[in-house]
Structure 1
Amino acid sequence: MADQQYRADGLTRRTVLAGGAALGLTGAAQAQSAALDLEAARREGQVVVYNNWQPNGIEPLLQRFREAVPGIRTEQIRLGSNPLIERFQTEFVAGRNLCDVLVTFPDERIDEGLKQGWMAKWTPPEFSNFPAEYNNSDMLFTIQHARECIIWNKTQVRPADAPKEWADLLDPKWKGRVGMNPPWRSVSIQQICAFWEDIGIKDAPERLKANEVRFFEGSGGIIQAVVRGDVRVAELTDLPLNPLLEDGAPIGFIYPKSGTTLSANKAFVAAKAPHPNAGKVFLNWLMTAEGQVHLQTYCGLSVTRKGAPPLSKLPATAQLSNVVDGEAILTPARQAVIVDKWRSVFGIR
């Protein structure tokens, strides 16, 4: 059993004895293992993780980490991307540093935080197994992707009536029966709103208001509303979709042929982390082959490690049509315009 416990470099004793070359590790990657100090992490005794993962998957994921790395307790704060970043920013400015690792969908505040000293500069030993573009300045690492899709309740929507394209959400036949996240709440929704504009849907706020769209707080709330039948169709960030499909939920889904946006879930170790060694051990574990499988299984998003298995019920990103990086089309100026427009149309101050 001890042979299977996690080592500071993300490997088990057995795989080390099998030889690093067989695992495709370079000499540089093996040398980076010195960046982790497992004994120091255990002396610190805990890691505090700020995240926006699927709520019911967080504790099983953390339990897997505790099993792999005995001696490090876990605490976590789960919020939507916007309040999560705001909380970290406020604490950093106040000198009240409580977070060790932050995982979220970023906005421009994360880019500014990278310049302002929010993040520890280091390279996780496991990063040799990831595409180089998923490392931003040896501080910010892309570990998962979310995609936008349309879902519907299969017991209430006939196959012939199921939506095929984004514009179908605006069809009056769904009046009072269409749901989504409010765009002022989530960066990923702001990105799909920008994409809608780019493919010619210029009046989505007005038409969805006329269609009596129902807003829900978070992807979990949306998909549960569809399962209950509170709404029949919805726009969804596919964070909770795969686990519910595995459970047999009567959900139909489509990634429209016109395209969709991709949101990068990124992680960093805080520069002023109260438990910096434990934070590094935890983030590196998330990037191991084992950690990526658990991250995908419990948190429902496609992972970014090379050679990782696909989600069980959803297509790989490479199989989708016209996938656009949401960050590339949502500049800060455009984000402000989109949020202001949607707030104005729906009377939100």
Structure 2
Amino acid sequence: MAENGISGGKPTRRAVIAGAAALAAAGPVRAQQAKLDLDAAKKEGKVVIYNNWQPNGIEPLLQRFREANPGIQTEQIRLGSNPLIERFQTEFSAGRNLCDVLVTFPDERIGEGMKKGWMAKWTPPEIANFAPEYNEEDMLFTIQHARECIIWNKAQVRPADAPKEWADLFDPKWKGRVGMNPPWRSVSIQQICAFWEDIGIKDAADKLKANEVRFFEGSGGIIQAVVRGDVRVAELTDLPLNPLLDDGAPIGFVYPKSGTTLSANKAFVAAKAPNPNAAKVFLNWLMTEQGQVHLQTYCGLSVTRKGAPPLSKLPATAELSNVVDGEKILTPERQTAIVDKWRSTFGIR
């Protein structure tokens, strides 16, 4: 379900590590060198962010931005990756430009949008602190990574029964007690479905239907279902996992030794942003040391800035076995085939 709202109020999570660095005054020398205009940003007065961050973490994150940038208010619209991209695409085509900054897990439409003029071309001052591969043509910037994993309710699943591999999701002992995000909703789930095929797991849709899989909307819904005991095990994009583990949730987890997929959470300033200066201030703040710490703390994903601290409860990507960039294995043709197969199997039009 869409979660639309104007941000305001106090952070709801407990106090966390404070960020240290202020905005950098200068960045790398490039033709499109950005000069952040704070006065113009404050005159615009707000920034509208389309995002797919963990719901509970959005307001605390935006509160930190407002504290660091008084005079710039925030509005946000949260949707899953697919409907979020579809919404921006539809608005852009209609000339109805409402979004200033978009943050999402991309599919091929983001690449097409880059060619169609969706994105402002500029160089954030903070980009010098990121590896070159996280900057695509001075338009699209990778700020976080998510990984796919298996989780379970530790109060209901004995250690000896805890899943270890992807194939364990299809074990009949979990019939009616296994959950996941529907593949037609999320690019990251489409990517793990492609990975399952690559490691020899065939007919996953049919097998999970036979196992009476239960679908939930978004990672937050999945992990809450596991905590409540609605399901006992689940496939999860790990964005809500670290914050709940920090809060003591009784959740076990594993990144299977056979491997997993990595999804890049990317951001851009809209070329026709209503508040372009505030948009650049916001996205550049997300890339500062302070912004990256807050992104990681409140939104639960590992960040991409050089030297950023690790997540408190989850292993670094470098420590995982056979991590595959999901974007590289999910071609448009394969994406269509996967979505069509899962929709057909579960009778979804």
Bin for the TM-score computed over the shorter chain: over 0.9
Change in Cα spacing, 1:135 to 1:34, as seen in structure 2 (3 Å) is closer
Alpha carbons 1:32, 1:125 under 8 Å: kept: no
Q: Deviation string for 1:64-99 (max 9, x for gaps)?
A: 000001110100001111111111111101111010
> Structure 2: any 5+ residue segments left out of the alignment?
1-18
Q: Which one-letter code corresponds to 1:298 in the other structure?
A: Y
Instruction: Specify which structure has the higher proportion of helix.
Output: 1
The corresponding residue for 1:135 is 135
Which whole-Å CA distance do the structure 1 matches of 2:34 and 2:335 have between them? 41
The corresponding residue for 1:103 is 103
Which whole-Å CA distance do the structure 1 matches of 2:34 and 2:321 have between them? 42
Q: Deviation string for 1:98-124 (max 9, x for gaps)?
A: 100000000111110000000000010
Which whole-Å CA distance do the structure 1 matches of 2:263 and 2:108 have between them? 14
- How far residue 28 of structure 1 moved from its aligned partner, in angstroms, is 3.2
Q: Deviation string for 1:213-271 (max 9, x for gaps)?
A: 00000000000000000000000000100000000000000000000000000000000
The corresponding residue for 2:169 is 169
Alpha carbons 1:177, 1:232 under 8 Å: kept: yes
The corresponding residue for 1:312 is 312
The corresponding residue for 1:22 is none
The corresponding residue for 1:28 is 29
Q: Report the identity percentage.
A: 85
- How far residue 176 of structure 1 moved from its aligned partner, in angstroms, is 0.4
Which whole-Å CA distance do the structure 2 matches of 1:33 and 1:65 have between them? 23
The corresponding residue for 1:198 is 198
Change in Cα spacing, 1:159 to 1:267, as seen in structure 2 (3 Å) is same
Matched, 1:220 2:202: no
Change in Cα spacing, 1:191 to 1:301, as seen in structure 2 (3 Å) is same
Q: Deviation string for 1:38-63 (max 9, x for gaps)?
A: 11111111100000000010010000
Which whole-Å CA distance do the structure 2 matches of 1:33 and 1:187 have between them? 32
The corresponding residue for 1:75 is 75
Alpha carbons 1:35, 1:122 under 8 Å: kept: no
The corresponding residue for 1:19 is none
- How far residue 32 of structure 1 moved from its aligned partner, in angstroms, is 7.8
The corresponding residue for 1:21 is none
After TM superposition, the runs of 4+ consecutive aligned structure 1 residues lying more than 3 A away are 4-7, 25-29, 31-34
Instruction: Quote the RMSD (CA, aligned, Å).
Output: 1.7
- How far residue 5 of structure 1 moved from its aligned partner, in angstroms, is 11
Equivalent positions of 1:1-349 (< 5 A) are: 10-11=23-24, 28=29, 34-349=34-349
Which whole-Å CA distance do the structure 1 matches of 2:274 and 2:203 have between them? 47
- How far residue 35 of structure 1 moved from its aligned partner, in angstroms, is 2.2
- How far residue 347 of structure 1 moved from its aligned partner, in angstroms, is 1.1
Which whole-Å CA distance do the structure 1 matches of 2:298 and 2:227 have between them? 20
Which whole-Å CA distance do the structure 1 matches of 2:96 and 2:254 have between them? 44
- How far residue 142 of structure 1 moved from its aligned partner, in angstroms, is 0.2
DSSP-derived class of the 1:35 partner: coil
Larger-Rg structure:
1
Matched pairs, number: 331
Alpha carbons 2:21, 2:290 under 8 Å: kept: no
- How far residue 348 of structure 1 moved from its aligned partner, in angstroms, is 1.1
- How far residue 314 of structure 1 moved from its aligned partner, in angstroms, is 0.2
Which whole-Å CA distance do the structure 1 matches of 2:82 and 2:48 have between them? 19
DSSP-derived class of the 1:308 partner: coil
Which whole-Å CA distance do the structure 2 matches of 1:123 and 1:218 have between them? 32
